[in-house]
Amino acid sequence: MVSNPPSPSAAAGGVTGSSAGGWSDRFEQGLHPAIERFNASIGFDITLLQEDLDGSVAHARMLGACGVIEPDEAERLVEGLETIRAEAAAGSFQPGLADEDVHFAVERRLIELLGPLGKKLHTGRSRNDQVGTDLRLWLRRRIDDLDRALLRFEAALLAQAEQHAETLIPGYTHLQRAQPVCLAHHLLAYIAMAERDRQRLADVRRRVDLCPLGAAALAGTPVPIDRRHTAAALGFADLYDNSLDAVSDRDFAVEFMAAASLVMVHLSRLSEEVILWASEEFGFISLSDRCATGSSLMPQKKNPDVPELVRGKSGRVFGHLMGLLTMIKGLPLAYNKDFQEDKEALFDGVRTCLDCLEAMAILFEEGLQFRPERLERAVESDFSNATDVADYLVGRGVPFREAYQLVGGLVKDCLRRGVLLRQLSLEEWQALHPAFEEDIHAAIAPRQVVAARRSEGGTGFEQVRRQLQRARLLLQESSGSAPDATG
């Protein structure tokens, strides 16, 4: 977590808080230095600087348009705010601990720049509706970033799937060999999950896209503001109806973290598979040097650190979800300082999710290669075609349960003798059941076993080609319509 910067006044041994902090003359003494540190959020909410400036620019313009301040005053406020933006870009805007948070830091600097006029900016506004606005503006942008990151990840999976539309891989249940599947089918399952993640985030975004500005501290304001003016200037889809709800709603943060948690669940499950596949025991993939690490001790090692880290980092995001729920659950209306705790959770949750999506995209773009020869050998050397023997008999009028029992006995017998089903002679098949004919050998070859699963959404090659086609179209359309980086 980010720590707060030192307080210039505390460093100089002076009294902090009070006028420096920005609250009223009611206060005679400054904060205890440890409490000042404890109370401050500037160490992390500086992340919201751009959004805080955007919100203040919109607020200043609205005050001017509504006649609360003179139009030229509004323009000078906007210029002052843009000066701060330029100073931040140049690295010369460096708030200290005495500023407490990003909102006070901006206001303090504005007053330094503009004198008494700077003191008019906060008219008809509170930090409570201000922070809610900043946070929603910030999260809306980050959801758009995540959407782009998900699309890149899906494109990386799709490129591998296209290459392996004919490659087979063992399919598992209970991590026991079950039935062979097409490798593209396996990868397409993760594309389907990522698509649901995009849909969930888009749905959360609709509720992030509400403007709380104008709710002021909790009850609204007697100042003749125009909430629709600021909301429109900031590109919000709508306003909060109720001022108490506006300043105390953090449902959107919880919903976001739940959606982000599912992104991480999906990435973590895929990571687990990649880690297994890279092991000597599976040997289904090899890792390229650019995405794997060595051991400081064992010269032969090549470790799958990327998926391991992704799997490990998922816990942080789930933790943030629980942290947010717990932080909110006992809060009376309306604003409570507890809400300050939402920020580090959101910042870290977003960062973690974006980093993991990028790392997994790179892993599938250039970090791993499937090993078709190993995969081929795997699907040929097991009993994962046993169901197809039973299905063969079903096709010749044998009731399924009877066929199932028969084949079970056959597998037991083969295991005892150390042979595979494909090694049985026609005589052996017919000894088991007279319905077997020469075509049994072709029927249980892995490629035929996969091809036969033609049911809609199954692993049959034709079905998989349709899925690939749909995924390709969807990605083309989505990439065309994705909001740009400036959002």
Provide DSSP, 441-484: HHHTSHHHHHHT--STTSS-HHHHHHHHHHHHHHHHHHHHHSPP
Interface stretch with ligand ARG, choices 11-19, 58-66, 339-347, 372-380 (CB under 6 A): 339-347
Q: Which of 280, 310, 277 is nearest to 172 (CA)?
A: 277
Binding region for ligand ARG (CB under 6 A) out of 115-123, 125-133, 156-164, 463-471: 125-133
* Residues in 32-61 that interact with ligand ARG by CB under 6 A: 41, 45
Q: Which of 19, 123, 340, 387 binds ligand ARG (CB under 6 A)?
A: 340
In this complex, which beta carbon is closest to ligand ARG, that of residue 148 or of residue 343? 343
Rule CB under 6 A: say whether 108 interacts with ligand ARG: no
Q: Which stretch in 127-135, 146-154, 365-373, 429-437 sits in contact with ligand ARG by CB under 6 A?
A: 127-135
Among 3, 24, 174, 455, the active-site one is 174
Query: Whole-angstrom Cα distance, residue 240 to residue 215?
Result: 8
Largest CA distance in the chain: 101
Q: Where are the alpha helices (DSSP H) in 66-182?
A: 71-90, 102-114, 127-163
Instruction: Tell which positions 216-235 bind ligand ARG, by CB under 6 A.
Output: none
For residue 26, state whether it binds ligand ARG (rule: CB under 6 A): no
Query: In terms of residues, how long is the chain?
Result: 487
Six-digit token string for 148: 């782009």
Output the smallest distance, CB 341 to ligand ARG, in A.
8
Which stretch, 30-38, 124-132, 173-181, 472-480, contacts ligand ARG (CB under 6 A)?
124-132
By three-state DSSP, how is residue 278 classified?
helix
In the complex, minimum distance from the CB of residue 258 to ligand ARG, in angstroms, rounded to a whole number: 21
Nearest distance in Å: CB 335, ligand ARG: 6
H/E element, 211: strand 210-211
Q: What whole-number distance in Å separates Cα of residue 236 and Cα of residue 205?
A: 11
Scanning 8-16, 303-311, 333-341, 373-381 for contacts with ligand ARG by CB under 6 A, the matching segment is: 333-341
Beta strands at 238-239 and 210-211: parallel, antiparallel or unpaired: parallel
Three-state DSSP class for residue 294? coil
Among 44, 256, 277, 335, binds ligand ARG (CB under 6 A): 335
d(CA 473, CA 345): 35
CA-to-CA separations, 429 to 350, 397, 401, 419, 435, in angstroms, rounded? 59, 16, 18, 13, 9
With binding defined as CB under 6 A, does residue 209 bind ligand ARG? Answer: no
Q: Is 174 a catalytic residue?
A: yes
Q: How far is the CB of 317 from ligand ARG (least distance, A)?
A: 21
CA-closest candidate to residue 152, choices 198, 189, 204: 198
Cβ distance to ligand ARG smaller for residue 52 or 388: 52
Which lies closer to ligand ARG via its Cβ, residue 200 or residue 351? 351
Residue 339 as a binder of ligand ARG (CB under 6 A): the answer is yes
**CA–CA separation, 468 and 471 (whole Å):** 5
Specify the residue, 83 or 123, whose C-beta has the smaller distance to ligand ARG. 123
Alpha helices by DSSP H, listed for 28-70, are: 33-39, 42-45, 49-65
User: Of 288, 295, 381, 479, which is the active-site residue?
Assistant: 295
> Can you list the alpha helix ranges (DSSP code H) found in 329-433?
342-362, 372-380, 386-394, 400-417, 426-432
Q: Does residue 109 bind ligand ARG (CB under 6 A)?
A: no
Smallest gap from residue 340 Cβ to ligand ARG (A): 4
Compute the distance between CA of residue 138 and CA of residue 128 in angstroms, rounded to an integer: 16
Size of interface with ligand ARG, in residues (CB under 6 A): 11
Q: Which residues bind ligand ARG (CB under 6 A)?
A: 41, 45, 101, 127-128, 131, 335, 337, 339-340, 343
Q: Which residue numbers are catalytic?
A: 174, 295
